Amino acid sequence: MGIQFRIIVLIGGLGLVLFVFNLVRKRKLRETYSLLWLLTGFVLLFLSIFQDLFWDRFSRLIGIDYPPSALFLIGMGFLFLIVLHYSVALSRLSEQNKELTQEFTILKDEFERLKTKIDGER
């Protein structure tokens, strides 16, 4: 991996970590959802700094000749994880939404009936 590429990855990783941290700080992103993003950023950072220790060994292990391809693979791998995490979170939110909708509907009916009763007693 050339030095220019390493610098780009370093800046990218650092930028990601700082940007995500700032989003959490401003309350735009919840801590729970930021953890995977921060991990991704740190891994990118780590790889750009310590490329010599891992790179050739890792690339050879998974059978890739062109090291930047391995980096893209790792980046994509993390993206898959993040998107999967979001699918799980979405599922949970859908379930909660359903519960709220159902409770609300029943509550609304009880409320209407109560209101009619009170209006009737006036």
Report, in Å, the least distance between residue 50 CB and another protein. 21
- Of the candidates 33, 40, 50, 43, the one whose C-alpha atom is nearest the C-alpha of residue 90 is 33
Dihedral angle sign, alpha carbons of residues 73, 84, 22, 54 = negative
User: Which residue's CB is nearer to another protein, number 27 or number 122?
Assistant: 27
Minimum Å distance from CB 14 to another protein? 16
Query: The tokens of 120 are what?
Result: 């009737």
φ/ψ region of 38 (left if φ > 0, alpha if ψ in -120 to 50, else beta) reads alpha
Q: Which is nearer to another protein, 37 or 67 (CB)?
A: 37
- Closer residue to another protein, CB minimum distance, 97 or 116: 97
CB of 54 to another protein, least distance (A): 22
Q: Which is nearer to another protein, 14 or 64 (CB)?
A: 14
Minimum separation from the CB atom of position 95 to another protein (A): 7
Residues binding another protein (CB under 8 A): 21, 24-25, 27, 31-32, 34-35, 38, 95-96, 99-100, 103
How many whole angstroms separate alpha carbon 56 and alpha carbon 46?
A: 15
As a whole number of angstroms, the distance between CA 33 and CA 86 comes to 8
